[in-house]
A and B are shown apart, each in its own frame.
Chain A
Amino acid sequence: MSVPLEHDYIGFSPPPAEDTSMEKTGDIKPISALTMNMKATELRLGLPGSHSPQRDDNGSPELCIALPSSKSSVSRPKRGFSFAIHGGSGNWVFSSPDTNFSSPRNNPSAVANSESGQDGGLPNQSSPAAPEKKNGQAAGPASKAQVVGWPPIRSFRKNTMASHPSPKNSDVVEGGDHHPQSGGSASSSSVCLYVKVSMDGAPYLRKIDLKTYGGYKDLSLALENMFSCFTIGQCGSHGVGVGDGVSESRLVDILHGSEYVLTYEDKDGDWMLVGDVPWKMFIDSCTRLRIMKSSDAIGLAPRAFEKVQKQ
């Protein structure tokens, strides 16, 4: 089966034992989401891969949007895309915390240096993984993300590249094709990339600029902030005990701990699961987002899997 191994955009951190070692050869490649989670994509009711230990432990319902995630990765507390009231136990892992050099101290300085010419809405971070650090997540002790001022690149260059990330990846453009500069093409236009975000059950939609996010993590946090008000009421007081008029499908979801999935409509009009493809490919093809009830997401994952296979 032709599962692409080399592109993994949902980072699965290696098992904890390996985390603390300094990367010598730079091959901390998170395990491919797709190879890991063929099973995950087969899951119907739940969400791919949402057997997280925390879920099992605390048992209390959390509204979480889940992406394929490995068991081992979830054991590290991370802020993922989670509406959990209890917070903190995200079950989306977009990237291994150990493999980047985001410099959180760079960011405040960058602001202080008033590089304020950048787009207003742009988080002043030069790396997609930086927000991971800013949220103070408990990354491994040897996390290289804490290295300030490394690699030695001037702020001007970092900010220039960060605000207009290259969307081109070798899969798509290698032939030197001219690709259209439509609004959806994140590649070389400096226009914003606003897409509508709807959430099932919410009374109104939101619009977000995909260009302002560095990666899935940024996006998940932003959506969480935006939509948490809608989930609080629903999360309610469903305890471990079920059966008080809770529907069966909901029951399953609650036990699995995630009630919603994040999906997007791509240029072909298909609804896909967010998180399968490289970020850059994602913003290139995403035309709208929908936070879907997981019960409605049955059957979505296998399609997503097929689609990726075609690429």
Chain B
Amino acid sequence: MDLTPKQSIPAAESTRFPDEVLERVLTLLKSPKDRNAVSLVCKDWYTADSWSRRHVFIGNCYSVSPEIVARRFPRIRSVTLKGKPRFSDFNLVPDNWGADVHSWLLVFASGSPFLEELRLKRMRVTDGSLEFLALNFPNFRALSLLSCDGFSTSGLATVATHCKNLIELDIQENGIEDLSGEWLSCFPDNFSTLEVLNFSNLITDVNTEVLERLVSRCRSLKVLKLNRSSSLDCLHRLLTSAPQLTELGVGSFSQELTPQQHAELKHAFGFCKNLTVLSGFWDATALNLSAVYPACSGLSFLNLSYTALQSQELASLLPHCPCLRRLWVLDSVGDRGLEAVGANCPSLEEIRVFPTDPFDEDMLHTVTESGIVAVSQGCPKLHYILYFCRQMTNAAVATVVRNCPDFTHFRLCIMNPGQPDHTTNQPMDEAFGAVVKTCKKLKRLSISGLLTDLTFKYIGEYAKNLEALSVAFAGSSDLGMQYVMEGCSKLKKLEIRDCPFGNAALLSGLERYESMRSLWMSACNVTVDGCKALARQMPRLNVEVMKEEGSDDCKADKVYVYRTVAGPRRDAPPSVLTFSSL
């Protein structure tokens, strides 16, 4: 029974807050999901939220236009933008695809010049954009670029030169044109506000004296991640002047040290009582690694994935890290190294094992099903796994999830496409069946190995909380994808490559795509006609097809479908066809 408007007015008035109070209250809500929910309550609350929203997260830069964002949130201070489809990390997306940040900066400069923070992932960023950013936003203080491309160290130089209040400069895993280390020298002599400095992505040397002076000036520096060419001498001096660091990325760890130098370095690490995160370590030797032991007692995240440690080296290091919650390693540690993990890391929540040599035929470095089982036996709190391996069995995966039923992220990559269980020669269907049946909280799943439609049937039936699914070289028919589209009501991101799914499969998701962020399908059996049919029926989806040279006119080689309120994009290159019913 609805209240009539007449009855509801007194109630509304008596609970009406002045706008300022409401806004003040709302700023205490940090989660974007909560803020979104608040904005749907009523017009007043929508308006209050709009004026008070300080941070916006946009998971797909084309789902909305910069004008719409600026209009709705006029006082925005912090923007997180993600651009290209994730498979662009693996070179499946053409370079000129789009996701250029510049149009966003232009709009913000005129509407919200008080922008302070910009975090970009998989966007195209040019030096021109970086310069524009540095010159047009006087309060700008935090820049984070992850997996972006299009800029060079010159762009960084303009940021260092002009952003007087910079607190954060975080440059990770980008396709950056590394011209020189001069950019670091562009920070003014009196500049001292930096709290986060991550230049581990960069190859060229920076001036160590400049770096040391900068670090000693910035008393609030908490996060420092050096690049590979940083020497151990430099590291020693930096540690001595910045013992307050909480996150440290060391440079190359391969220099030969005299016993004296080694002792001094170890001593310097001993000063750093607040370290929770350690990374870097390119080419670490066993001996040098022992210098970090004094700093490991409070360590929660250890990233050793850039150095090919052997099992013994890892086994020597781990007992010094009793609080470890996240560990990234290379498969050079082998199953024995993973046994050491199981034996020494009872609090471990996340493990990622990367391949030392993805194309290694000699199989000198590898982990097997035994390794992952060993970890699961010793680490019952495990909820995140990323595991690259060359062999796996259904039984092992079942054991792993029995030991650790709380997985939220299960990403298994058996590197040989379509490889079955190596002991039974059966498909890996039962492995992933076990995962989805046991792990009720599963949000992200990546599957691999020889898989039939049965895997997808299991996923559709059991993975009710699944939000992201990544599929490659799997499935037998359209049914596979249909099971998932029908069953996984919370699905947000689906990426598929090299699977036998055609138009029927694509169209089976009609009901689902508007509640998803995006769908990627490449090297499947979808045709251009199928894409057109999808676009015709769903006006609020952009259906994009990337054509490859020399392919059939009717084949849709790569398909990218996403919901949007901004209509078809106008900056697509010629190789990208956009289908829309508008």
List the interface of chain A (C-beta within 8 A of B): 7-9, 11, 22-26, 28-30, 95-96, 99-103, 105-106, 109-110, 112-118, 126-130, 144, 147-158, 160-161, 164-166, 168-170, 173-181, 187-190, 278, 280
Contact = CB atoms under 8 A, between A and B. Distances in A.
Contacts of A173: 310
A101 B358 contact: yes
A155 B175 contact: yes
Contact of A114 (B177, B204, B364, B422): B177
Given A117-B202, A117-B203, A187-B285, 18 more contacts: A24-B418, A100-B359, A102-B359, A105-B91, A127-B359, A129-B361, A150-B90, A151-B355, A152-B413, A157-B305, A166-B356, A168-B308, A174-B310, A174-B311, A177-B286, A181-B285, A189-B283, A190-B254
A76 to B, nearest CB: 16
Interface residues of B, number: 72
Contact of A126 (B358, B365, B497): B358
A100 B91 contact: no
A147 to B, nearest CB: 7
A178 B285 contact: yes
A149 B497 CA distance: 10
Contact of B390 (A7, A26, A30): A26
Nearest to A128: B359
B364 A169 contact: yes
A103 B283 contact: no
Interface in B307-323: 307-308, 310-313, 316
Given A174-B312, A181-B285, A188-B254, A158 B390 contact: no
B359 A176 contact: no
B284 interface: yes
A160 to B, nearest CB: 6
B364 to A, nearest CB: 5
B362 A7 contact: yes
Complex A-B, nearest 5 residue pairs according to Cβ-Cβ distance, in ascending order:
A117-B203, A127-B359, A166-B308, A117-B178, A149-B90
Contacts, number: 185
B110 interface: no
Given A153-B90, A166-B365, A178 B287 contact: yes
B472 interface: yes
B332 A166 contact: yes
B310 A170 contact: yes
Interface of B: 87, 89-92, 95, 147, 149, 152, 173-178, 201-204, 228-229, 252-256, 282-287, 305-308, 310-313, 316, 330, 332, 334, 354-365, 388, 390-391, 413, 415-420, 422, 425, 450, 470, 472, 497
B391 A26 contact: yes
Contact of B254 (A114, A157, A189): A189
Given A8-B362, A164-B282, A166-B357, A176 B310 contact: yes
B203 A25 contact: no
A120 to B, nearest CB: 11
Given A174-B310, A190-B254, A22 B359 contact: no
B294 to A, nearest CB: 19
B356 A25 contact: no
B358 A181 contact: no
B486 to A, nearest CB: 26
Determine which residue in A99, A113, A114, A151 has the highest number of CB atoms from chain B within 10 A of its CB, and name it. Answer: A151
11 contacts: A25-B425, A114-B175, A116-B177, A117-B176, A150-B472, A151-B358, A161-B357, A169-B364, A178-B286, A187-B285, A190-B254
B418 A127 contact: no
Given A11-B361, A117-B202, A117-B203, A187 B283 contact: yes
